[in-house]
Structure 1
Amino acid sequence: MNIIGYMQRIGRALMLPVATLPAAAILMGIGYWLQSASGGDHPFASTLGGAGSAIIDNMSILFAAGVAYGLSKDKDGAAAMAGVVGFLVLTTLLSPHAVALIQGQPLAQVSPAFGKINNQFIGILCGVIAATLYNRFAQTELPAGLAFFSGKRLVPILVSLAMLVLALPLLVIWPWLFAGLISAGKQISSLGAVGAGLFGLINRLLIPIGLHHAFYPVFWFDVAGINDIPNFLGGARAIAEGRAIPGVTGMYQAGFFPIMMFGLPGAALAIFQSAKPENRAKVGALMATAALSSIFTGITEPLEFAFMFAAPPLYVLHAVLTGLSLYIAASMHWMAGFGFSAGFVDLLLSSQNPLATGWYMLLLQGLVFFGLYFAAFRWAIVRFNLQTPGREAEEVVPSAPASNDKTALAMAYLAVVGGATNLQQIDACITRLRLTVNDTAQIDEAQLKALGAAGVIKLDQQHIQIVLGPLAELIATEMKALLTVGESR
């Protein structure tokens, strides 16, 4: 598999542990609201906050389990268990006390890097190794005397041995690697609002190939010492522990709210008004659905893919405006955070967080960006005759499927992508159906859009992504079930 394809798989696998964050955000958000309403300590609020913190504080091991599960060839729980085993073994072997014993030196002389071995970067590393060993040895048969340890039972043993081997070079490499990650994090953080703006720009530019999933952990989690999302959700505790600074923590999140709740809906209105009169009803339904998804949940890909490839200059403009929004929010210290994405629900939940400074100003900023997006998109579409939905010479306007029958829709997608004979692997993230096929040339993009796909990305001759919005995982599950039934006949 090429490097892009493998990074795609890792990015997809990261979505499973990241999907636990909304639970933490809801629990902690409600806790902050109760705390604010009571005007002081509230037992139930503290309980909810503690429950949410339990998720945040254990993100490293969740990454190990989630990545191992997501990268395993058959999505088996044994792979996730192997990821957890690997993480526990490696972090124990490289704990400060263990390192002091191994190196034969006082605990005080052990590199402080080993005090931070329990982090998401190590979790991802353990998950990747566990999945690799699972995919290679899950079907291995041992001699009769050792038959009990054959197959999936063998994998945790092999992972433990692999961690023993890995711990040796990490005794030397980890302090240097950790110092490098922290240095990178400090350099980015030292750019302040400019760094936040660059993050927003690059984040959007990577979405077309899906590598934003591999990019954002550097800023949002504890990969390079920034850890913006967990620190923000930590609220008062994070402030007391010196992990968060009001007006600063959240700078890699806050600027997305004006874009997702206001800017992109403004773009949707411009695309609707720019469509040919005979196509406006169909385009209007598509844009309204995509805009509501962006406003309330922060899921933007169905809307972004409506113009990403049809009118690339608009997407570059969108990326620049996103960077500008993050820069403005960070420079003005208007902060809000999210557990899932920058939609209305997350803004409401985070509004009572002690770190949510001037969050209401993001709404005013959003109104400005609504007008900015609408005016800029409308002018560019008309001035350069860009082929946004409803303006194509031969109209192929994607629309929602007429039927709500997920099985029937999955059967239709199976047929359009070439059926079982062309499919090697079916996966999905939050918004994309990710397929590995024998030949992408067999796939009819027009038919996919007619079924309701917002966009189709052919990465190479074997890897394709179909943007379906929240339906993606449901359709992937139905497709797998249909193929399983077909094989059993």
Structure 2
Amino acid sequence: MMQKVQRFGSAMFVPVLLFAFAGIVVGLCALFKNQQIMGTLASPDTFWSKSWFVIEEGGWTIFRQMPLLFAIGIPIALAKKAQARACLEALTTYLTFNYFVGAILTVWGDSFGVDMSQEVGGTSGLAEIAGIKTLDTNIFGAILISSIVVYLHNRYFDKKLPDFLGIFQGSSYVVILSFFVMIPLAIVMSYVWPIVQDGIASMQVFLKGSGALGVWIYTFLERILLPTGLHHFIYTPFVFGPAVVEGGIVTYWAQHLGDFSASNQPLKELFPEGGFALHGNSKIFAIPGIALAIYVTAKKEKKKIVAGLLIPITLTSVIAGITEPIEFTFLFISPLLFLIHALLAASMSTLMYMAGVVGNMGGGLIEVMTLNWIPLFGSHGLTYIYQFAIGLSFTAIYFFIFRFLIVKLNVATPGRETDNQAETKMYSKQEYRERKNGKQNEVAASAEAPDQAALCIEALGGKENISEITNCATRLRVSVNDHSKVKSDSEFRSLGAHGVVRNGNALQIIIGLSVPQVRERIEQQLDYK
């Protein structure tokens, strides 16, 4: 069950990968249209302002169509075969579902306590999806419908029908089945979801009223659940869904950047919900402190090697917000360090929130700068000075605590291994030399290494031992039939992986941002279609 939940969580991350660029575009447009920063050049009637308005509209594509993206994105990760056809089936069925809901509420809305004459948005509980006026189930509805379609797709896509019904095989058969499943589901959703909306409204009141305690609990869970893959379930409803604000924190923050910039009222008063999107600060301020502690505690003769390993992954964390390579390194070696990390990360976000820091800060430096600091520093600079001061203080706190624990507990972090602890390294010496010589040794790093996928399959025990394969942002998730046939962690590291998480027959191989290409190449050799 846990394995299935993990796969489901990773599937939700597929469309999220598109948000970074869109967020940067919207943030830069808000910056260049800000009259306080750009002066008269950004007046609404200028060619400059109008041009950036056009670009900004393109940047809003992702945020305005999030349910559609989730409906299409889920099959990419969860469909076991013919993912492209599964995406088409999911989109068709999701639109069908919304047409059903819209029609049901138009005819019997009073019976369900829904007034379809209201305008979409606000507190109406209604939304417009692909031109369909329907109940606002947000990304939850998209994920639910898409998951049902994937289940039907995996089970019935290959079903053989009599020859005279051959035209209804494959995707047509899945869509037909889904059509009839959607009718009762639409009825149930029309009844249940308004009740859920009332519950969400109550939760919003509770979380807003919980203040700093709510921020601490949220941030702690977001970090501590990272190894399980369940952290997606914590932050997704807040950041991209309606848990605390309509449309999610990301969308709401971007929509109101101009208003926040024009106001001298404290950001915490303008948007207190933004306290639930401060978890990116640990990626910017915590990881450098951890990396420095690992470096200074390394053996003298290994410091250069350790520096070569730590610098790129630290920059990746700070700039892009991808923390898994370094976090999983000390998680494998000492879970206690990871627990301390989660506690400190939650405390840092909470102190920042208490100091008035809120916003859209779930990613790395690029996201935080373009969506927060640059457009708002002119009117809220003191708030960000507090953020810098608290963040840098925690960099030092992380350094001293991690340095103390590494030495006190004799943790075998990179550069401290004994001869019989070689597997605790992030990379082997050979891999480091190859990296130094410019030879990237990631799994399936390029088309020039066509045998990498075959070697990875071999390390997993062969084709017949692989029952299922998918991925999230940086991890290859594999289900095997017999975990005893899977080779050692060092074997995967020799192929360029950063580490392996094992849970019975379920494995998570830490690859990095090239993991979609890795999965694609492996599936080609497994003859997946």
Residue 76 (structure 1) shift: 1.7
Partner residue in 2 for 1:101: 107
Which residue is equivalent to 2:272?
A: 248
Alignment equivalent of 2:485, drawn from 427, 442, 448:
442
* Alpha-carbon distance in 2 for matches of 1:186, 1:69: 36
- 2:365 is the alignment partner of 1:344: yes
Aligned match of 2:410: 385
Query: Aligned AA for 1:283?
Result: V
Determine which of 449, 466, 471 is the counterpart of 2:509: 466
Give the corresponding residue for 2:179.
Answer: 160
Aligned-partner Cα distance in 1 for 2:308–2:525: 30
2:469 equivalent to 1:426: yes
Change in Cα spacing, 1:61 to 1:118, as seen in structure 2 (3 Å) is farther
**Structure 2: 5+ residue runs without aligned partners?**
118-122, 128-134, 262-267
1:125 aligns with 2:144: yes
Larger mean CA deviation between 182-191 and 381-390 belongs to 182-191
Q: Matches of 1:337 and 1:100 in 2, distance apart?
A: 37
Match of 1:416 among 414, 439, 459: 459
Calculate the aligned-residue CA RMSD, in Å.
2.7
CA contact under 8 A between 1:398 and 1:452: conserved in structure 2? Answer: no
Aligned to 2:164: 145
Across the two proteins, how many residue pairs are aligned to each other?
476
Q: 1:68 to 1:245 in 2, by over 3 A?
A: farther
How far has the Cα of 1:306 moved from its partner?
Answer: 1.2
Change (3 A) 1:108 1:211: closer
> Given the alignment, which residue of 394, 404, 422 partners 2:440?
404
Retained in 1: the 8 A contact 2:109–2:116? Answer: no
Q: Which amino acid aligns with 1:404?
A: Q
Q: Find the counterpart in structure 2 of residue 300 from structure 1.
A: 323
Is 1:453 aligned to residue 467 of structure 2? no
Given that 1:261 and 1:294 are in contact with CA atoms closer than 8 Å, whether structure 2 keeps it comes out as yes
User: Hey, what does 1:376 align to over in structure 2?
Assistant: 401
Aligned to 2:264: none
* Residues 283-319 of structure 1 deviation map (CA, whole Å, 9 limit, x = unaligned): 2222222111111101000010110120111111100
CA distance in 1, matches of 2:58, 2:384: 25
Distance in 2 (alpha carbons) for counterparts of 1:214 and 1:349: 26
Aligned to 1:310: 333
Residues 133 and 155 in structure 1, CA contact (< 8 A), matched pair in contact too: yes
Q: Verify the 8 A CA contact 1:209 1:459 in the aligned structure 2.
A: no
Shift of 1:229: 1.6
CA drift at 1:189: 2.8
Instruction: Kindly provide the CA deviation profile for residues 122-166 of structure 1, in whole angstroms up to 9, marking residues without a partner as x.
Output: 111111111111111111233333321211222222222211121
Once residues 104 and 39 of structure 1 are traced to their aligned partners in structure 2, the CA distance between those partners, rounded to angstroms, is 47
Partner of 1:395: 421
**Shift, 1:112, TM fit:** 4.5
Q: Which residue of 1 aligns with 2:356?
A: 333
Q: Is 1:320 the equivalent of 2:326?
A: no
Q: Distance in 1 between matches of 2:83 and 2:255?
A: 32
Find out whether 1:481 has 2:524 as its counterpart.
Answer: yes
Name the counterpart of 2:10.
12
Cα distance 1:275–1:410, how it changes in 2: closer, same or farther (>3 A)?
Answer: farther
Contact map agreement 1:133 1:159 (CA 8 A) in 2: yes
Cα offset for 1:468? 1.9
Distance in 2 between the 1:46 and 1:190 partners? 36
Q: Match of 1:456, as an amino acid?
A: V
TM-score, normalising length: structure 1: 0.89
Which residue among 281, 303, 309 is the counterpart of 1:280?
Answer: 303
Q: 1:239 to 1:264 in 2, by over 3 A?
A: closer
Distance 1:390 1:409, change over 3 A: farther
